[in-house]
Structure 1
Amino acid sequence: MESFFGALKRELVHRHRFATRAQARQAIFVWIQAWYNRRRLHSALGYASPEQWEQQELLKAA
């Protein structure tokens, strides 16, 4: 969790100034869904991102 929060702060929170909490919540949600969950490396996937892993699986199935 420390790694997650460190990345969140480093890559989003400290780079932006939000006018409202709602704007901050929305930006954090988008960052998690669009970047963190899709592109970060997962040890369970052989240190590939979910997108890379899915592409590899599609190539294997073809």
Structure 2
Amino acid sequence: MPRQMQLWATPKESPQSQKIWRNLEHQLQKDVIAALANLICKMVLSQDANQSQEESHER
């Protein structure tokens, strides 16, 4: 089966970043994941608050 040609190059993760992540202690990996999850939650909540404020101003 012939390979399909890519329209644009997809960035690949550098091997160095993989090594850095694997070399972190397990607890530090968990802390990084928890911090990222908290940031995602804050962004979602702030977007919800902004939408409700816009709706109240439109009335």
Pair in the same fold by TM > 0.5: no
Q: TM-score range, shorter-chain basis?
A: 0.3 to 0.5
TM-score (norm 2): 0.44
TM-score (norm 1): 0.43
Structure with more of its chain in helix, by fraction = 1
Highest CA radius of gyration, 1 or 2?
A: 2
